[in-house]
Amino acid sequence: MFDGFTLETVKLPEVSLRVRHGGSGPPLLLLHGHPRTHTTWHRVAPLLARRFTVVCPDLRGFGKSSKPADATDHEWSSKRAKARDCVDLMRHLGHSAFHLAGHDRGAYTAFRTAMDHPTKVMKLAVLDGVPILDALARCDARFAARWWHWFFFAQPDKPERAILADPDAWYGGSPEAMGGDNYRDYRAAIHDPDVVRGMLGDYRAGLYVDPMHDLDDQEAGRKLRCPVHVVWSKKDDLEELYGDLLALWQPWSKLPVTGAGIDCGHHMAEEAPEALAAELEGFFLGELE
């Protein structure tokens, strides 16, 4: 995986992050989702590295990055804390500003990074995600039936016990679909009790502290200042649940929101790497029509 990339653990002010980086050109930070690690990008990152300096970390709480003990307010698992990590990491690597793409749970960290650090994020791509406040406000029986894990994962203690009893049954995946090295890295993560606890902390923050940060922005009229591009999986359920995804994101952005669907399932970096790389490259380089 990641031929020509450097793999290292970077010590930052609050945590240490495992990160791969390589390529040349404008800096581009890629954030994975749940329950993946940075290796989910192994088919996309080399394509983007032809024109970008690509950085792929394990988010705090995930993979082989730090897993700080979380207080009852879940602040250490918040997207605001992870946004600080993103800025600190890119600064450490010599990038004062950068392009940013986040998938799934990583999309929330990407959103918070662009909101809290507007001078650092040049362009933002949101992959298979909707604003947390909108998801919670529109929660109905269909959402609860399909995304019930949001609420189960946020409960104390019980989700760890349930998942760790049989992580493979919970999360699935296969080396054929994911690629052998990526699958082995992912499987090691989901069998690690500290990683499972860290990943669940992301959901706990997502129901408690993260919505409060978003609500503060909404009430203050703060919006994203950079160009925003939304990419969604046509074989996932976001369009079915929410309809016009660009209209959903538009109130959060000062500029017109653009976007497109990709003909694949949820884990787009693994299922449709060429299409995703082309979409991201076109957006970040300003080549989309």
Instruction: Give the torsion sign (CA, 154, 159, 164, 166).
Output: negative
Question: Using CA atoms, how far apart are residues 5 and 35, in angstroms rounded to an integer?
Answer: 23
Annotated catalytic residue 92: no
Annotated catalytic residue 134: no
Question: Using CA atoms, how far apart are residues 186 and 189, in angstroms rounded to an integer?
Answer: 5
Check if the beta carbon of residue 254 is closer than 8 Å to that of residue 99. Answer: no
Catalytically annotated residue among 92, 117, 191, 266: 266
Catalytically annotated residue among 58, 70, 85, 104: 104
Residue 45: name the closest of 264, 233, 273 by CA.
Answer: 273
For 104, other C-beta atoms within 10 Å of its C-beta total 21
Check if the beta carbon of residue 29 is closer than 8 Å to that of residue 107. Answer: no
Residue 182: name the closest of 45, 26, 73, 41 by CA.
Answer: 41
Residue 204: name the closest of 83, 103, 126, 105 by CA.
Answer: 105
Question: Using CA atoms, how far apart are residues 262 and 279, in angstroms rounded to an integer?
Answer: 9
Report, as residue numbers or ranges, the catalytic residues.
104, 266
